[in-house]
């Protein structure tokens, strides 16, 4: 990864929000530039962007057109869309036009940063057959999980949940990300169901005498599979 | 049928029928009485006239005159006799003097015994007149034919009255039924509008009558209500819209502030503020979601979806939460129950119902989810034996922001049921609340076509 491509380009016409996003991402060690749609497109074409964060609508202009154009040209830069529109139709349209993820306003900054981190460190190696963190190992072919040599029996959904964490070690995973990617639920919940699923999973994968869980809570954001466990 | 009889239109028709009958009967009675009076008068005049003419005849003249009259002129006289001063019959066809005064006026005797018979009687009128020689002349007329004629007239009138009565009732019933059918249609339409089908309007015919005029006024009123509703919704949606960015910004700034200070007091305040902003954001997001579902309905791509699969999936998703609250959760599905719809939206609607049920059911309660096909229509039921809904609150629970007073401490946007109802509506499903004795039961039922 060269220095030039480590820049995140942000296309957002609400200045205060753009500044907050920039500040938050910079705090996490990213380089951020707030740019216009045209600037973002040009930079993406020459490979001068680690990823794009684009508002769906900037100064009354639909950014989906530009995105679709970029994709048609074969530009592969990861794109996170931010939208004021919450309907499922809109999300589908955004993803069809070439967006990799879609976030609806209003969102917590933790939600945005978690998604950005996940996109930047996405493991696109589908040939991976084994995922490993510490002494936890998942075999994707055999569909088995072992921790420290002991076989752990998981329900299909628990397996998917753990797989998601193993694919994003050391990253903040929000509840919304789990709902969307593990359960394919594209709506917000007013209950703590996800936490219950996580706690059930912990009971299965953590040894009885473990001082702390492999999956830790991140206050105000979600969960993280601690890679150093 | 009872409802039909109770309707105001039917009452008007019945009153009208009754009035017609009374009026007709009155006219008929008048006709009858007139005919009867005229007939009686002519009878009396004839008799009195006859008596006056023949009072001065000699006995012999009378004898022959009586003979002629009684044998040849049956039209005018039926009875004629001459009595002496002691009221003994001298000649004629009457054997006993009837109890009438000798005043030359006609008198009615209801049951005159027919002479020569044992006990046959008939109604008759008589005139008695004293003669200069002291004898008494008695003339009489039977009213048998007159009475028969009266009966004929009466029968004729009554016969005419019956079909008239039936006709009036039939016409009344016809109009009443027509009016009541229109009123029923209006009533049904209003009921559907009140249930939220705000696009519906009352029927107005091309040639408007009084009902149509009122219907048209109601329609205009509905248009106005609609306009105001859209306006109010627009305002609330705009507020929500404009709140999004500031909320996100404040959230971020507070988070940043939280990170950059070690002052515990400040940190605690920031954390509390963040919790409140999280709630505000949840509400704003739900409000915008609701607006999206309500406003942009048919742009959603509908495809064949299986409600059984959706509910089974959600059941598995929610079951651990129920278990963690020691709630027993059961699932009953008839597979597959297919409808045309948007799977993501239906998942959201049912998720709201199940989430609510678990939220409002105390520990060791039960939550049941079932998907069935009843009379060809899909039915999703989510029932619990929790705190239920107070009768006074039942029509409010689908309103925006309404949260049960008893359930107020349970956090939530208060929009979950509104969103579920909007999604159900989009899929031609009705979302209803039923009492589960105890607890709540929410039913999503396919609407009857047409």
* Residue of B245, B255, B313 with shortest CB distance to A14: B245
Q: Quick one: A95 and A179 in the same domain?
A: no
Report d(CA A159, CA A196) in Å as an integer. 15
Contact between chains at A193 and B248 (C-beta distance less than 8 A): no
Domain assignment present for A210 = yes
Residue A59 contacts B where some CB pair is shorter than 8 Å = no
pLDDT band at B175 (very low <50, low <70, confident <90, very high): confident
| Minimum Cα–Cα distance from A196: chain B residue | B321
Report d(CA A224, CA A215) in Å as an integer. 5
Give the C-alpha distances (Å, rounded to integers) separating B285 from A19, A93, A108, B121, B247.
Answer: 22, 19, 12, 104, 11
The CATH number for A48's domain is 3.40.50.2300
Q: At what angle do helices B307-324 and A193-205 cross, to 10 degrees?
A: 70
pLDDT band at A1 (very low <50, low <70, confident <90, very high): very low
Around Cβ B209, how many Cβ atoms within 10 Å? 12
Whether residue B168 contacts residue B20, with contact meaning beta carbons closer than 8 Å, is answered with yes
Q: Looking at the predicted structure, is the pLDDT value of residue B71 above 80? A: no
* Residue of B246, B247, B282 with shortest CB distance to A188: B282
- In a 13 Å sphere around the CA of A32, the CA atoms on its Cβ side amount to 21
Q: Looking at the predicted structure, is the pLDDT value of residue B386 above 50? A: yes
Residue B283 contacts A where some CB pair is shorter than 8 Å = no
Q: Looking at the predicted structure, is the pLDDT value of residue B2 above 80? A: no
Report d(CA A187, CA B422) in Å as an integer. 15
For the segment B161-172, the average pLDDT, to the nearest whole number, is 81
pLDDT band at B409 (very low <50, low <70, confident <90, very high): very low
3-state class (DSSP) for residue B165: helix
pLDDT at B402: 61
Secondary structure of B395-406 in HEC code, one letter for each residue:
CCCCCCCCCCHH
Residue A156 contacts B where some CB pair is shorter than 8 Å = no
Domain boundary among A93, A120, A147: A120
List, for residues B233-255, the tens digit of each pLDDT value: 777 777 777 888 788 888 888 88
3-state class (DSSP) for residue B306: strand
User: What 8-state DSSP symbol labels residue B447?
Assistant: P
For the segment B355-368, the average pLDDT, to the nearest whole number, is 92
Query: Residue B361: enclosing H or E segment and its boundaries?
Result: none
pLDDT at B233: 74
Q: Quick one: A168 and A102 in the same domain?
A: no
Whether residue B103 contacts residue B62, with contact meaning beta carbons closer than 8 Å, is answered with no
Q: Which residue has the tokens 């006074």?
A: B392
For A201, the token pair is 């999973």
pLDDT at A3: 41
List, for residues B176-199, the tens digit of each pLDDT value: 788 788 888 888 888 888 776 778
Residue A217 contacts B where some CB pair is shorter than 8 Å = no
Q: Quick one: A138 and A212 in the same domain?
A: yes
Report d(CA B367, CA B386) in Å as an integer. 9
pLDDT band at A86 (very low <50, low <70, confident <90, very high): low
Q: Quick one: A116 and A12 in the same domain?
A: yes
3-state class (DSSP) for residue B219: helix
For B133, the token pair is 């020689």
* B 113-172 → A contacts, CB under 8 A: none
Which chain A residues are closer than 8 Å to B321 by Cβ?
Answer: 191-193, 196
DSSP alpha helices (H): ranges in A56-142?
63-72, 88-96, 109-120
pLDDT band at A227 (very low <50, low <70, confident <90, very high): low
Q: Looking at the predicted structure, is the pLDDT value of residue B392 above 80? A: no
Q: Looking at the predicted structure, is the pLDDT value of residue B132 above 90? A: no
Domain boundary among A71, A89, A120: A120
Contact between chains at A190 and B355 (C-beta distance less than 8 A): yes
Q: Among A14-23, A39-48, B101-110, whose mean pLDDT is lowest?
A: B101-110
B210 contact partners, CB below 8 Å, separation of at least 6: none
Domain assignment present for A105 = yes
pLDDT band at B1 (very low <50, low <70, confident <90, very high): very low
Around Cβ B312, how many Cβ atoms within 10 Å? 16
For the segment A110-123, the average pLDDT, to the nearest whole number, is 85
pLDDT at A152: 93
pLDDT at B314: 95
In CATH terms, the fold of domain B298-446 is: Heat Shock Protein 90 (3.30.565)
Give the highest mean pLDDT range of A137-141, B41-45, B242-246.
Answer: A137-141
The CATH number for A210's domain is 1.10.10.10
Among candidate residues B309, B299, B381, B384, the one with its CA nearest the CA of residue B339: B309
Q: How many residues does the structure list for chain B?
A: 450
Q: Quick one: A196 and A107 in the same domain?
A: no
Which chain A residues are closer than 8 Å to B245 by Cβ?
Answer: 14, 16-17, 105-106
Query: Residue B58: enclosing H or E segment and its boundaries?
Result: none
In total, the C-beta contacts within 8 angstroms joining chain A to chain B are: 114
For the segment B166-182, the average pLDDT, to the nearest whole number, is 81
User: What is the per-residue burial (b if ≥16 Cβ within 10 Å, else e) of B143-171?
Assistant: beebeeebeebeeebeeeeeeebeebbee
For the segment B300-323, the average pLDDT, to the nearest whole number, is 91
Contact between chains at B248 and A106 (C-beta distance less than 8 A): yes
Q: Quick one: A116 and A134 in the same domain?
A: no
Q: Looking at the predicted structure, is the pLDDT value of residue A90 above 90? A: no
Going by their DSSP bridges, the two strands B79-83 and B136-142 should be labelled as antiparallel
Contact between chains at A87 and B293 (C-beta distance less than 8 A): yes
Whether residue B429 contacts residue B447, with contact meaning beta carbons closer than 8 Å, is answered with yes
pLDDT at B301: 67
Give strand ranges (E) for B397-439: 429-435
Which chain A residues are closer than 8 Å to B254 by Cβ?
Answer: none
Residue B245 contacts A where some CB pair is shorter than 8 Å = yes
pLDDT band at A228 (very low <50, low <70, confident <90, very high): low
Q: Quick one: A106 and A162 in the same domain?
A: no
User: What is the per-residue burial (b if ≥16 Cβ within 10 Å, else e) of A153-163?
Assistant: ebeebbbebbb
* Domain hosting residue A26, numbered range: 4-120
Q: What are phi and psi of A146, to 5 degrees?
A: -125, 140
Q: Among A183-187, B88-92, B431-435, whose mean pLDDT is lowest?
A: B88-92
Pick the more confident residue, A227 or A9. Answer: A9
Whether residue B204 contacts residue B215, with contact meaning beta carbons closer than 8 Å, is answered with yes
Pick the more confident residue, B290 or A40. Answer: A40
Query: Could you tell me if the ipTM is greater than 0.85?
Result: no
Domain assignment present for A125 = no
In CATH terms, the fold of domain B13-148 is: Beta-Lactamase (3.30.450)
Which chain A residues are closer than 8 Å to B416 by Cβ?
Answer: 190
pLDDT band at A81 (very low <50, low <70, confident <90, very high): very high
Q: Quick one: A151 and A116 in the same domain?
A: no
B196 contact partners, CB below 8 Å, separation of at least 6: B421, B425
Q: What are phi and psi of A105, to 5 degrees?
A: -70, 145
For the segment B34-41, the average pLDDT, to the nearest whole number, is 85
B294 alpha-carbon distance from chain centroid = 35
For the segment B343-368, the average pLDDT, to the nearest whole number, is 92
Pick the more confident residue, B243 or A7. Answer: A7
pLDDT at A4: 41
For the segment A44-69, the average pLDDT, to the nearest whole number, is 89
pLDDT at A165: 93
List, for residues A205-214, the tens digit of each pLDDT value: 988 887 888 9
Q: Quick one: A91 and A165 in the same domain?
A: no
Pick the more confident residue, A129 or B367. Answer: B367
Q: Quick one: A83 and A176 in the same domain?
A: no
Q: Looking at the predicted structure, is the pLDDT value of residue B277 above 50? A: yes
Residue B344 contacts A where some CB pair is shorter than 8 Å = yes
Report d(CA B397, CA B353) in Å as an integer. 12
List, for residues A141-181, the tens digit of each pLDDT value: 899 999 988 999 999 999 999 999 998 888 899 999 999 99
Q: Quick one: A140 and A192 in the same domain?
A: yes
Whether residue B281 contacts residue B231, with contact meaning beta carbons closer than 8 Å, is answered with no
Report d(CA B93, CA B116) in Å as an integer. 9
Query: What mean pLDDT value characterizes chain B?
Result: 83
For the segment B60-83, the average pLDDT, to the nearest whole number, is 78
For A148, the token pair is 């420290």
For the segment B244-270, the average pLDDT, to the nearest whole number, is 86
* B 348-387 → A contacts, CB under 8 A: 348, 351, 355, 358-359
Contact between chains at B248 and A104 (C-beta distance less than 8 A): no
In terms of C-beta distances under 8 Å and separation of at least 24 residues, what long-range contacts does B146-152 make, across chains too? B146/B39, B146/B40, B146/B43, B147/B123, B149/B39, B150/B32, B150/B35, B150/B36, B150/B39
Strand partners, A217: A223
Around Cβ B63, how many Cβ atoms within 10 Å? 16
Contact between chains at B344 and A186 (C-beta distance less than 8 A): yes
For the segment A80-96, the average pLDDT, to the nearest whole number, is 81
Q: How many residues does the structure list for chain A?
A: 229
Q: Which residue has the tokens 């009554």?
A: B158
* Residue of B278, B289, B317 with shortest CB distance to A86: B289
Whether residue B175 contacts residue B12, with contact meaning beta carbons closer than 8 Å, is answered with no
pLDDT band at B5 (very low <50, low <70, confident <90, very high): low
Query: What mean pLDDT value characterizes chain A?
Result: 87
List, for residues B394-407, the tens digit of each pLDDT value: 777 777 666 555 55
Which chain B residues are closer than 8 Å to A197 by Cβ?
Answer: 320
Distance from CA of A104 to the nearest CA of B (A): 8
Strand partners, A174: A222
For A129, the token pair is 């057959």
pLDDT at A2: 39
Q: Quick one: A9 and A113 in the same domain?
A: yes
Number of domains in chain A: 2
Going by their DSSP bridges, the two strands A61-62 and A144-147 should be labelled as unpaired
Residue A164 contacts B where some CB pair is shorter than 8 Å = no
Pick the more confident residue, B410 or B449. Answer: B449
* Residue of B253, B259, B355 with shortest CB distance to A191: B355
pLDDT at A59: 80
């Amino acid at each position: 990864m060269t220095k030039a491509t480590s820049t995140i380009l942000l296309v957002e016409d609400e200045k205060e929000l753009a500044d907050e996003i920039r500040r938050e991402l910079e705090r996490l060690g990213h380089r951020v530039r707030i740019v216009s749609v045209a600037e973002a497109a040009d930079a993406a074409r020459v490979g001068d962007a680690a990823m794009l964060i684009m508002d769906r609508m900037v100064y009354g202009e639909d950014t989906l057109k530009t995105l679709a154009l970029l994709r048609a040209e074969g530009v592969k830069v990861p794109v996170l869309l931010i939208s004021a529109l919450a309907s499922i139709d809109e999300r589908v349209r955004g993803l069809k036009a070439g967006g990799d993820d879609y976030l609806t306003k209003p969102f917590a900054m933790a939600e945005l940063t978690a998604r950005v981190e996940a996109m930047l460190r996405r493991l696109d190696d589908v040939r991976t057959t084994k995922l490993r963190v510490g002494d936890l190992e998942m075999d994707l072919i055999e569909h088995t999980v072992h921790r420290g040599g002991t076989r752990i029996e998981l329900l299909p959904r628990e397996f998917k949940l753990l797989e998601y964490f193993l694919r994003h070690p050391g990253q903040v995973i929000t509840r919304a990300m789990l709902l969307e990617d593990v359960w394919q639920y594209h709506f917000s919940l007013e209950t703590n169901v996800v936490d219950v699923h996580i706690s059930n999973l912990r009971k299965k994968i953590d040894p009885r005498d473990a001082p702390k869980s492999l999956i830790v809570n991140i206050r105000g954001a979600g969960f993280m599979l601690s890679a150093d466990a | 049928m009872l409802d039909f009889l109770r309707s105001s239109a039917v009452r008007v028709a019945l009153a009208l029928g009754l009035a017609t009958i009374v009026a007709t009967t009155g006219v008929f009675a008048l006709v009858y009485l007139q005919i009867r009076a005229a007939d009686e008068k002519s009878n009396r005049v004839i008799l009195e006239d006859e008596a006056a003419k023949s009072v001065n005849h000699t006995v012999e003249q009378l004898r022959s005159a009586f003979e002629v009259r009684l044998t040849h002129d049956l039209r005018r006289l039926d009875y004629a006799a001459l009595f002496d001063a002691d009221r003994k019959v001298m000649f004629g066809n009457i054997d006993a003097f009837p109890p009438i005064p000798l005043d030359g006026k006609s008198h009615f005797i209801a049951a005159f015994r027919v002479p020569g018979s044992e006990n046959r009687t008939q109604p008759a009128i008589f005139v008695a007149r004293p003669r200069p020689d002291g004898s008494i002349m008695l003339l009489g007329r039977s009213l048998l034919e007159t009475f028969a004629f009266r009966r004929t007239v009466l029968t004729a009138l009554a016969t005419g009255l019956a079909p008239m009565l039936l006709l009036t009732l039939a016409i009344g019933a016809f109009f009443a039924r027509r009016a009541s059918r229109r009123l029923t249609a209006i009533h049904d339409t209003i009921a559907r509008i009140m249930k939220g089908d705000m696009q519906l309007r009352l029927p107005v015919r091309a040639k408007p009558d009084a009902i149509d005029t009122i219907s048209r006024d109601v329609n205009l009123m509905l248009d106005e209500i609609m306009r105001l509703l859209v306006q109010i919704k627009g305002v609330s949606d705009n507020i929500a819209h404009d709140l999004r960015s500031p909320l996100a910004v404040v959230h971020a700034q507070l988070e940043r502030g939280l990170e950059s200070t070690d002052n515990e007091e400040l940190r605690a305040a920031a954390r509390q503020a963040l919790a409140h902003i999280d709630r505000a954001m949840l509400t704003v997001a739900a409000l915008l979601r609701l607006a999206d579902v309500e406003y942009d309905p048919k742009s959603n791509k509908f495809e064949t979806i299986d409600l059984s699969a959706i509910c089974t999936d959600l059941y598995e998703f929610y079951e651990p939460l129920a278990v963690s609250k020691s709630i027993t959760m059961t699932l009953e599905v008839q597979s597959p129950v297919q409808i045309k719809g948007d799977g993501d939206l239906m998942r959201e609607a049912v998720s709201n119902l199940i989430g609510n049920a678990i939220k409002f059911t105390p520990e060791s309660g039960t939550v049941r989810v079932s998907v069935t096909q009843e009379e060809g229509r899909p039915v999703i039921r989510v029932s619990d034996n929790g705190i239920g809904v107070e009768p006074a609150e039942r029509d409010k629970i689908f309103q925006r922001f309404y949260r049960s007073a008893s359930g107020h401490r349970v956090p939530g946007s208060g929009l979950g049921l509104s969103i579920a109802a909007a999604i159900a509506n989009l899929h031609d499903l009705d979302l209803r609340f039923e009492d589960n004795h105890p607890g709540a039961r929410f039913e999503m039922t396919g609407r009857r076509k047409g």
